[in-house]
Amino acid sequence: MRCGNVALILAAWALCPQSASATTVTFQQGAGGYGGTRDSYLSENAPASTNGTREWVEWDSDDPAGTGLDTVALIRFEQLFGNGTGQIPATAAITSATLTLTVNNAGDAGLAYEAAVDWDDSVTWNTFGPAAGVQSGDYVNLLGAVSGASGTVNFDVTASLQRWLADPASNRGWVILPQNNNGVEFRSSQYAAAPAQRPKLTVVYSAAAAVQLVREPYLQLATPLSIVIAWRTNVATDSRVRFGPSPAQLNQFVSDATLATNHFIPLAGLSPGTTYYYDVGSTTQPLAGGTTAYRFTTPPPIGSVGPFSAWIVGDSGNGQPSQYAVRDAMSNHVGTTPFDLFLHVGDIAYNSGTDQEFTNYFYAAYQDVLRRTVCWPTLGNHEGANSFSSTQTGPYFAGYVLPNAAQAGGLASGTEAYYSFDYANVHFISLNSQDVNRNPGSAMLTWLAADLAATNQQWVIAFWHHPPYSKGTHDSDDPQEDGGREVDMRENVLPILEAGGVDLVLTGHSHIYERSYLVDSAYDTPTTAPGHIVDAGDGKPAGDGPYLKSAGLNAHDGAVYVVAGHGGQPCGQSGVHPLMYFTETENGSCLLSVSGNVLSLQNVRDDGVVSDHFQIVKPPAGDIDADGDLDAADVDLFVGVLLGLDLDVGRNARSDLNNDASANGQDAAMLVANLLN
């Protein structure tokens, strides 16, 4: 996340909306009755001398010549802000400010800073600041180099004026430090022969516009105890979120006095699995919220068995009817039981992931979802045109608040480019196939291995953009495709994930829906199926039955791979992938559901048809009949195994709860303990 702060004070929402016409005011000693200019120079050569009444001001690093002693210029304009004639009102939006000097003795440029200590016309080298001379703590905020060219010199001081408008007491003027020994003199506010050559400050401002939402509130970085609420306004304001147990009881609040257009407010000290209602706005006026639509439910405690559901979307952000049809189809499908999470597998905002494209094709398109559901994204190649993981800049990183230090579970990645988080009994991992090093030994792969080793969750779901297996609009077997990204993820990342017990992999990029069998260790190029399909069934409870995996995380126990790049872009197919059970070139999205030891995924097309569905079940230890639960039937079977009456290999293996190669009394004790739990 990168926030931008603008030093503007705004109260215009209390007034009628005004037009944005510009007003220009100037401040020059003696002009129009103005008498607020203060200027002087500090002389190291004459440290006790005051120079506030001289007709010139100077800066020099060798004055007198050959001494190497400094001379430093000071200048300030007072009485700038207020409601008097010629003043800048507190409600203004300053668009530019220019300091104009008349240089009568040219020399080398000086560096302009804002003064951080008070001074007046009687100031000397000895009395400026707490110690003699100009120390580093006596000035702040470098503005840049002031030219020493002869004649009129204009210098941009907009940033200073904007800061001082927000805090007029901080207006202590400017300090101009010399850089070289060719000093500069300019006419002071006392110059009598030509008052027009005195220093002049020109400020252009407009009346403040009414505050409007540019991006409706959206939720980020949720944990059982915290969440971040974000929104964007058209002009800078301070920020406040009010929240509580009902829309009429928003009895808690968090605020931030910093003026900003991008607002990010973290809420902490929340309770797990609890619904809160909220509104957002400034400290004096809410802008949105206060209805049942503006709410969030914190995640349940880590490790809890759910149930929960997540919406999976990829390659959606084109603003076309297809995008909205996909969205609406899922909304109709879930009805009054909305999903708890929103995962986006990339290509969030076409064509290039610009800030405006994000605003239109993501934040606006999904605003009804985003105000109550956290989106966890991964970087696609289209937003990768303007967002860059190496610097974590661009609209993707500016808008999302993603964990980089294990804020939501897992281990610290050190970057928002890839991350992990826990929700209920699932460990989610968002990887970056777009623009980080994908080679063995890289930071991402090293982090991934450690992150998988550190989790105690029951399920692992990984997602990223470029699919390791696909024959849609992209061919994952082509090493030239996408700079080899698909091959890299397959050859370098999948071995780590599958050794760590991954259960489900979600990707996009290829504009198609593809869903694999339960597969493992298919790392070759081109991908081959023999020896890599763990379960060749359809995974459907009413068909061949769910894919069964052992309880907990088991290395190389099989995973299902889903390509969900069908969220809005036109679909296409280049072949049939040998690992895929089902392929469809229709727009749609997926609904993931997890309840205890059962994981389900449905593909919901844009016409509402559920065209695919599979389950993965991890029977608990002691589930002798492998029906997904632990009950009296399992006890009966266990007794049969214990007495040697049942020779079925599978039931015998499942009766060996402690994995010591035999079913005996110790396993009985574990079975009883599991039943009681």
Partner 1 sequence: MATLRSLSTSFAAIVTACMAVPVIAHPGLHHDIDRVSTALAAQPRRADLYLERGFLHRLNDEPAKALADLEQAATLDPALPNLALHRGLTLSALRRDPQAEVELTKAVADPGAPAAAWMERGKVRERLGRLAAAAGDYAAAIRLDPQPDAYLLHGRLLEALGRSEDAAACYRDGLSRLGGAVALRLELIGVETRAKRYDAALEQIDLAMRSSGNKVDWLLRRGDVNAAAGRPDVARRDREQALADCRQQVVRRPSSLRLYQRARAYHALGRRDEAIADLKAALRKTPRYGEARALLSTLESDDALLREARHAMR
Kindly list the residues in this chain that would bind partner 1 in the complex (CB under 8 A): 351, 381-382, 384-386, 388-394, 404-406, 411-415, 435-437, 441-444, 446-447, 450-451, 453-456, 458, 480-484, 499-501, 520-521, 534, 550-557, 621, 653, 656-661, 670
Closest by CA position to 224, among listed 163, 193, 282, 270: 270
Question: Which phi and psi angles does 451 have, rounded to 5°?
Answer: -65, -40
Rounded distance, CA 196 to CA 203, Å? 17
Distances (CA, A) of 654 to 610, 643, 649, 672: 34, 15, 9, 14
Token pair recorded at residue 446: 């090293």
Smaller CB separation from partner 1, 52 or 467: 467
Shortest CB 451 distance to partner 1, Å: 7
Smaller CB separation from partner 1, 101 or 518: 518
Shortest CB 454 distance to partner 1, Å: 4
Smaller CB separation from partner 1, 631 or 660: 660
Shortest CB 97 distance to partner 1, Å: 25
Smaller CB separation from partner 1, 92 or 519: 519
Residues 6+ apart with CB under 8 A from 239: 255, 256, 258, 260, 263, 264, 265, 280, 282, 283
Shortest CB 217 distance to partner 1, Å: 26
DSSP 537-591: S---TTTT-PEE--SS--TTS-BEEEEE--SSSPP--S---TTEEEEE-S-EEEE
Distances (CA, A) of 265 to 235, 243, 283, 445: 17, 12, 13, 32
Strand 374-377 versus strand 341-344 pairing type? parallel
Shortest CB 444 distance to partner 1, Å: 8
DSSP 591-607: EEEEETTEEEEEEEETT
For 443, the 3-state DSSP assignment is helix
Smaller CB separation from partner 1, 37 or 389: 389
Query: Element (H or E) spanning 485, and its range?
Result: helix 485-488
Smaller CB separation from partner 1, 392 or 664: 392
Say how many CA atoms lie within 13 Å of 411 toward its Cβ: 14
Residue 18 one-letter amino acid: Q
Shortest CB 551 distance to partner 1, Å: 6
Smaller CB separation from partner 1, 49 or 674: 674
**Tokens 């992990």 -> residue:** 420
Smaller CB separation from partner 1, 287 or 630: 630
Smaller CB separation from partner 1, 131 or 555: 555
Asked if 12 and 284 count as a contact pair (C-beta separation under 8 A), the reply is: no
Shortest CB 348 distance to partner 1, Å: 15
Shortest CB 509 distance to partner 1, Å: 10
Shortest CB 391 distance to partner 1, Å: 5
